[in-house]
Amino acid sequence: MPMKKFTLFVFALLISSSAFAQRYTTPIFSASDVVKSSNVAYGVNFNPYIDSALLGGTNIQPLYADFYMPSPAVDTVTNRPVVIVWHTGSFLPKGVNGSALGTKEDSAVVEMCTRFARMGYVSIAASYRLGWLANSTNLDLRRGTNLLAVYYSIQDAKSLVRYLNLTQVGAGNPYGINASNTIMVGQGSGGYLTFAYATIDKHSEVAGPSKFAYQDTIGMFGQPVSIGDPYIDTAFAGGIDGFGGAVTVTGVTASGLPTMDYSATGRNYENHAGMPDDVLMVINMGGAMGDGAWLEAGDIPMLSIHSKYDFFAPYDTGMVYVPIGQNFFPVVSVSGSYAAIKSANALGNNDIFLNENYTDQVWVDQQSTNPSNEECLYTIEIPPASATQPWVINTSPWNWYDANDPMAGQDPSNPNVKATSMAWIDTVMTFIVPRMATVLQAEGVAAGIQEVTLELSIYPNPASGLLHIES
């Protein structure tokens, strides 16, 4: 082979190897290579806030997710890691929450899922059950139904992870995944979900704290209770993993949804028994952890992105406020991202990151933006426009939405400039993706490192002009 052609061959080989080397850390596919499977039903469950007539005579609603992945025409990998992205929305339906956001089709959710798919992941934008009595003047109803909404979302998230495992081992792996390598990202209320998913592993964590117990004798669904009873009754709602408290199924609707016996106690539909629901790590973009005591040594790693000026979900510790129209309803005191990450770091849960010598600028810079130079926390420093209106604050600058949406004018804090939001998503991805790769590498996934080893024999060595290459 002439030396010139050999040089070109080696150059092409290096380019090819470089492309292989960056899977799961940089885009290796184009946007046009990404395909989407919409409204995949990953489970069903009871929702007391849905009009049963809309579902054909049942309160057991379907749970849907959109799957984004590289097309099989360009990607034949069959053990891809999974990233699930949970949307924001205050655990209320879009519009009811006073926002143009709150679905799996939210702009930032779709953008992040597309970017993950371009890196070679299978990414999922998932819905979960919504509804609670946010504007009730009764503290038990407001706080209890809010906790139940978070609880429902965790059960739904576990159902989705079990569904992924079921498709992998029992349905021919149609999505080409390794479900044991699943990572979760939560935006806004989705951040409450991811925090809780990572930390709640026993009922006492939601039943023990006095703030999660009744102060009166009327339950959130009108049933008699005793003062001090926990809001979450597993006979009614089931366990945090989604088992127990099972509904009594009486049949199916015309569309195939289960009907139920409303006179029976159980209100939980058990999905995908026998499948695991473990994930590798969680990431929250806003939101908070319902109770600081949930966090224990040995919990999975976590990263946080949070505004230090967040009026609704505290950056450190404090009260959660939910905006409904022009009113703000206090709900419960929680631990925000700064408090949670500081504790996770101290407990050793984030040692997988702290023991790395990251030099990327976003990681280096983020330490100086919080009070104790904590790693694993990226702080947003956009202050409110007016100190007298701290609630007019852009705490999620990655979000943009259709200016023609009827709810678009309800958020004066968001300039709704797509270019600005895309730049913020750039920052978020730069912060989280290298750390995701670290966690995947610990599981044996070749994330950001060479996936193919080429064993070459070259002779003679040294050569005068003609080389023979054998693999």
The pLDDT mean for the chain works out to: 89
Task: Give the length of the chain.
Answer: 471
Least Cα distance to 93 among 57, 51, 122, 144 occurs for 51
pLDDT (tens digit, 9 = 90+) per residue, 70-92? 999 999 999 999 999 999 999 99
Res. 3: pLDDT tops 70? no
Query: How many angstroms separate the CA atoms of 75 and 451, rounded?
Result: 14
- More reliable by pLDDT, 191 or 457: 191
Res. 471: pLDDT tops 70? no
The predicted model gives 407-426 an average pLDDT of 81
pLDDT (tens digit, 9 = 90+) per residue, 213-234? 999 999 998 899 999 999 999 9
pLDDT (tens digit, 9 = 90+) per residue, 285-296? 999 999 999 999
pLDDT value at residue 404: 76
Res. 8: pLDDT tops 90? no
pLDDT grade for 413, boundaries at 50, 70 and 90: low
Cβ atoms of 245 and 265 within 8 Å: the answer is yes
- More reliable by pLDDT, 398 or 322: 398
pLDDT value at residue 388: 87
What percent of the chain clears pLDDT 90, i.e. is strictly above it?
A: 76
Question: Any residues with CB less than 8 A from the CB of 129 and at least 6 apart, and which?
Answer: 45, 47, 61, 63, 149, 152, 153, 156
pLDDT (tens digit, 9 = 90+) per residue, 374-391? 999 999 999 988 888 888
The predicted model gives 242-255 an average pLDDT of 97
pLDDT grade for 108, boundaries at 50, 70 and 90: very high
Q: What is the pTM of this model?
A: 0.90
The predicted model gives 39-56 an average pLDDT of 97
Residue 341 CB: number of other CB atoms within 10 A?
A: 27
pLDDT grade for 456, boundaries at 50, 70 and 90: very low
pLDDT grade for 236, boundaries at 50, 70 and 90: very high
| 157, 158, 163, 166, 325 from 274: Cα distances, Å | 15, 12, 10, 9, 43
pLDDT grade for 409, boundaries at 50, 70 and 90: low
* CATH code where residue 112 lies: 3.40.50.1820
pLDDT value at residue 454: 36
pLDDT grade for 297, boundaries at 50, 70 and 90: very high
pLDDT (tens digit, 9 = 90+) per residue, 352-368? 999 999 999 999 988 88
pLDDT value at residue 402: 80
pLDDT value at residue 449: 58
Please report where in the chains the tokens 């371009």 appear, as a residue: 118
Res. 16: pLDDT tops 90? no
The predicted model gives 45-62 an average pLDDT of 97
Reported as half-sphere exposure (CB side, CA atoms, 13 A), residue 399 has a value of 25
- More reliable by pLDDT, 452 or 165: 165
Q: How many separate domains does the chain show?
A: 1
Q: Which range of residues forms the domain containing residue 230?
A: 1-470
pLDDT grade for 410, boundaries at 50, 70 and 90: low
- Mark out the alpha helices in 171-290 (DSSP H runs): 189-199, 204-207, 234-237
pLDDT value at residue 6: 39
